[in-house]
Structure 1
Amino acid sequence: MKPSDVMKGAPPSAEALVTRFNWRKYPHSQWSFRNTRQVLPTADIRRSSTPSALTSSVCDLSAVAFVADGKRTTLAETLAQTYADGLLVMQRGKIVSEWYGEGMTPHTPHLVCSVSKSICGTLGGILVERGLLDVDKPITHYVPEMASSVYGGCTVRNLLDMTVAIKFEEDYDDPEGDVVKYRLCNGWDVLPNGTAQGDQRSFLATLRPSGGPHGKVFHYVSTNTDVLGWVYEKACGKPYAQILSEYIWAPMGAEDDAYITLDTHGASRSAGGICATLRDLGRFGEMIRNRGLVNGTQVVPGSWIDDIHLNGDTRAFANGDLAFVFPSGRYRACWYTVDPARLDLAAVGIHGQWIYIDPTTDTVIVKVASQPNPMDIPIDHRWLAAFRGIGEALSKSFI
């Protein structure tokens, strides 16, 4: 079945119908990733009443060529061959290219999976500046309910940098692994017959330590960022979606409401549940490129952005479980530094979601997709080469 056939008809055929049994499986995911709130409960992340203006100076980038995995290819070929749903390229604050696939428009929110983590990590800097959060305090200072779990011995900084020594394997393909239990508690999967519905926060409290010390090894586990969102809620006394709207989405001038998925108890999936438009994700990335500034207003502390660029434990990352993705990389406040020599930042989500920020070429690139496999490193590396190729082409030809 073609993606364009999904959810067609009144009603759709059984084969074309999107349900919680198939919503993350291609080709159904190509529809559900842009219609997630029709599958799961959600909360709005409210837009600005005065959206920041976006200017355009559009050029044709389809012929931009680059080498990936030893082969020369183009942007047009890569868009066609990698299940892409949308691409937005900005340079120095202007939109220079915008492409939308099946069912996508400039005002269509798309699920961004773990790009949500980088948004969450950015929010932390604002809360620190406002005196609402101390990253060196133990998690239990904010969430005492975590005392008997692995999180009872961690700091907020350990959450931000993924250095919690937790017994949890983020294996998306293990049919009986930790990720399956995690998705069930969040309502992302259908429960087996006779199984009672759990909830996110109760599940988080059951997680146990690996036996190693916290703060020494990068270990990528999504539950860490869900705990971080819970810490923010306790610190602010408000739901996560409202905090995100008040401190980032509205102040940065978002044009459209975003939204975030909820479990059955109303807990936000701050680790991976945000759905947003490409233009607003571009606004967010441009704010990061400008050290937190939006039209002269400091939305995110510049020192927080500097810390993301310059810090992060390279040794901890090298000893961690994603060093093969970014061999010289590091991780700080839920952002990847891909190459410390060029200080390029990446927010990355499974199934092909990216925000890429390159200070050397003044570019911000947003790409969303519905790749069939949660992790597809050859495609990720192909797109990383594409991002850099786009930046180099813009720098040479259009400045």
Structure 2
Amino acid sequence: MRPTDVMRGSPPAPEAQVTRANWRSFPAIRWGFTHTREVLPTAEIRRSARPTPMPSAPRELSKLGFTAPDGRETTIEATLRETFTDTLLVMHRGTLIHEWYGDGMTATTPHLICSISKAIAGTLGGILAARGLIDPEARVLRYVPELETSVYAGCTVRNLLDMAVAIQFEEDYEDPAGDVARYRFSSGWDVPPPGVEPGHQRAYLTTLRGTGKPHGKVFHYVSTNTEVLGWVYERACGMPYHRILSEYLWQPLGTEEDGSLTLDSHGMGRIAGGISVTARDLVRFGEMMRCRGVVEGRQVVPGWWIDDIRENGDPQAWADGDLAEFFPGARYRSKWFAIDPSRNALTAIGIHGQHLYVDLDSDTVIAKLATQPKAMDVPIDQRWFAAFSAITAHLA
């Protein structure tokens, strides 16, 4: 069955139905990622009353050729077609020069951005730090004492931001009985098997334990760290995460459409991966990062926080961490990746093919959203990094 046949008919045929049991499986994922509010409970991330203008001057990029990591010659057009891509937007020096949508996608279609949500949380942290609402160097327990018996009792907010918590947790998306599966049951994303209680996120977070090693030394990518970060924000601000995000970042950014955040059974958002937004609003976010936090002359995110993301991140922690074999020499800071040490570029990455690429050397922002069948597909990711390099080289 093709993705375009999913959820067709009144009612759809049983094999074409999308439910909470299959919404992230191919081919249901294509409908699930663009109709998340119809699958899971969500909270609204309010748009701006005055959207930031988006000037457009289309340029032909689809025929642009480049060499894929496997040595094969390809093009942007072929890569779009062969990697389950749903949309690709390219902004150069503040002007939208390329806007492509796959079947069923439009400029107003919301799309789940998975772990690009983490980069949004990391960026939001700079606003809260500048206002004195959080202290990145403070212990997590200062904000969330309920975590006293968990791994998070001994770590700082900065450890959460930089994925440097010494936690016993394997981010294995394919293990049906592993840590990620239990985490997803608690978040409401997956239906637990008979006899397994789903629980809820806050209760689940209190059960997580450490390795006994010191925090802050090794990059270890674990999504629950970002859920704890969101809990810290909620305590510091006295409001739920979706309202914090709306009021402090998403509205000042000048977004055009409402976003959404998935919720668990107790109303806690899936801060690490549950945001859905349009590609246009995502590229607005990336453009703000390129402009050092400034939108139409307004400082939305402190410039020093973005400088810190660009310039810092512990290279030794990365070298000793999870992903060094795939991206040697990279860094990670406040939920953003610096994948290529030779380029002045930041990347936000989500499973199933989500990318926001901010290249400061060429003044380019690229938003690419997808519904790849595999959660992690490193060859496809590396092909797209080659594509991003080809685009930025062409524009420069």
Report the Cα distance in structure 2 between the residues aligned to 1:35 and 1:365, rounded to whole angstroms: 23
Shift of 1:340: 2.9
Corresponding position of 2:381: 380
Question: What are the residue-to-residue correspondences of 1:258-297 with 2, within 5 Å?
Answer: 258-297=259-298
Report the Cα distance in structure 2 between the residues aligned to 1:230 and 1:249, rounded to whole angstroms: 19
Question: What are the residue-to-residue correspondences of 1:112-127 with 2, within 5 Å?
Answer: 112-127=113-128
1:82 and 2:83 correspond: yes
Partner-residue secondary structure (3-state), 1:55: coil
Question: What are the residue-to-residue correspondences of 1:290-369 with 2, within 5 Å?
Answer: 290-369=291-370
Q: Report the AA paired with residue 156 of structure 2.
A: T
Partner-residue secondary structure (3-state), 2:15: coil
Partner-residue secondary structure (3-state), 2:271: coil
Deviates more, 1:161-170 or 1:57-66: 57-66
Identity %: 60
Report the Cα distance in structure 1 between the residues aligned to 2:80 and 2:307, rounded to whole angstroms: 32
Shift of 1:302: 0.3
Report the Cα distance in structure 2 between the residues aligned to 1:350 and 1:57, rounded to whole angstroms: 31
Shift of 1:194: 3.3
Structure 1 segments (4+ residues) deviating >6 Å: none
Shift of 1:151: 0.1
Question: What are the residue-to-residue correspondences of 1:143-154 with 2, within 5 Å?
Answer: 143-154=144-155
Report the Cα distance in structure 1 between the residues aligned to 2:35 and 2:88, rounded to whole angstroms: 18
Report the Cα distance in structure 1 between the residues aligned to 2:30 and 2:388, rounded to whole angstroms: 22
Q: Deviations over 1:117-170 (max 9, x none)?
A: 000000000000001010000000000001110000000000000000000000
Q: Deviations over 1:331-356 (max 9, x none)?
A: 00000011233221000000000000
Q: Deviations over 1:72-114 (max 9, x none)?
A: 1100000000000111000011100001112111011100000
Shift of 1:208: 0.1
Report the Cα distance in structure 2 between the residues aligned to 1:10 and 1:235, rounded to whole angstroms: 47
Report the Cα distance in structure 2 between the residues aligned to 1:73 and 1:174, rounded to whole angstroms: 34
Corresponding position of 2:40: 40
Q: Report the AA paired with residue 102 of structure 2.
A: G
Corresponding position of 1:56: 56
Question: What are the residue-to-residue correspondences of 1:10-21 with 2, within 5 Å?
Answer: 10-21=10-21
Coordinate RMSD, CA, aligned:
0.7
Report the Cα distance in structure 1 between the residues aligned to 2:165 and 2:72, rounded to whole angstroms: 39
Corresponding position of 2:170: 169
Corresponding position of 1:239: 240
Partner-residue secondary structure (3-state), 1:106: coil
Q: Deviations over 1:6-35 (max 9, x none)?
A: 000000000000011110001100111000
Shift of 1:60: 1.4
**TM-score computed with the length of structure 1 as normaliser:** 0.98
List runs of 5+ in structure 2 lacking aligned partners: none
Partner-residue secondary structure (3-state), 2:16: coil
Shift of 1:44: 0.5
List runs of 5+ in structure 1 lacking aligned partners: none
Q: Deviations over 1:204-253 (max 9, x none)?
A: 00000011110000000000000000000000000100000011100010
Corresponding position of 1:180: 181
Partner-residue secondary structure (3-state), 2:14: coil
Report the Cα distance in structure 1 between the residues aligned to 2:295 and 2:327, rounded to whole angstroms: 30
Partner-residue secondary structure (3-state), 2:332: strand
1:99 and 2:100 correspond: yes
Partner-residue secondary structure (3-state), 2:265: coil
Report the Cα distance in structure 1 between the residues aligned to 2:263 and 2:67, rounded to whole angstroms: 41
Corresponding position of 1:68: 68
Shift of 1:326: 1.8
Partner-residue secondary structure (3-state), 2:392: helix
Q: Report the AA paired with residue 322 of structure 1.
A: L
Aligned residues: 395
Question: What are the residue-to-residue correspondences of 1:213-252 with 2, within 5 Å?
Answer: 213-252=214-253
Shift of 1:324: 2.3
Partner-residue secondary structure (3-state), 1:15: helix
Corresponding position of 2:112: 111
